[in-house]
Amino acid sequence: MEKKVLTTPIQRKDLEGIKAGDIIYLTGHITTCRDVAHRRLIELGRELPVDVRDGAILHAGPIVRDLGEDIFEMVSVGPTTSMRMEKFEYDFVKETGVRLIVGKGGMGPNTERACKEFGALHLVFPAGNAVLAATEVEEIESANWRELGMPETLWTCRVKEFGPLIVSIDTEGNNWFEQKKVEYNAKKEEVLESIYQEVKFIK
pLDDT tens-place string over residues 89-135: 999 999 999 999 999 999 999 999 999 999 999 999 988 888 889 99
Q: Is the pTM of this model over 0.85?
A: yes
Catalytic residue among 29, 38, 59, 122: 38
Whether residue 185 is predicted with pLDDT greater than 80 in this model: the reply is no
Whether residue 15 is predicted with pLDDT greater than 70 in this model: the reply is yes
Whether residue 180 is predicted with pLDDT greater than 80 in this model: the reply is no
Predicted local confidence at residue 194, as pLDDT: 66
Whether residue 14 is predicted with pLDDT greater than 60 in this model: the reply is yes
Predicted local confidence at residue 3, as pLDDT: 86
Q: Give the whole-angstrom CA distance, residue 151 versus residue 74.
A: 12
Predicted local confidence at residue 193, as pLDDT: 62
Predicted local confidence at residue 122, as pLDDT: 98
Contact 176, 167 (CB under 8 A): yes
Whether residue 140 is predicted with pLDDT greater than 70 in this model: the reply is yes
Decide if 38 is catalytic.
yes
The amino acid at 81: T
* CA-to-CA dists, residue 169 to 11, 41, 60, 112, angstroms: 17, 23, 18, 6
**Res. 29 pLDDT band, cuts 50 70 90:** very high
Predicted local confidence at residue 76, as pLDDT: 94
Share of the chain above pLDDT 90, in %: 80
Q: How would you write the chain as a 3-class SS string?
A: CCCCEEECCCCHHHHCCCCCCCEEEEEEEEEECCHHHHHHHHCCCCCCCCCCCCCEEECECCEEEEEECCEEEEEECCECEHHHHHHHHHHHHHHHCCCEEEEECCCCHHHHHHHHHHCCEEEECCCCCHHHHHHCEEEEEEEECHHHCCCCCEEEEEEEEEEEEEEEECCCCCEHHHHHHHHHHHHHHHHHHHHHHHHHHHC
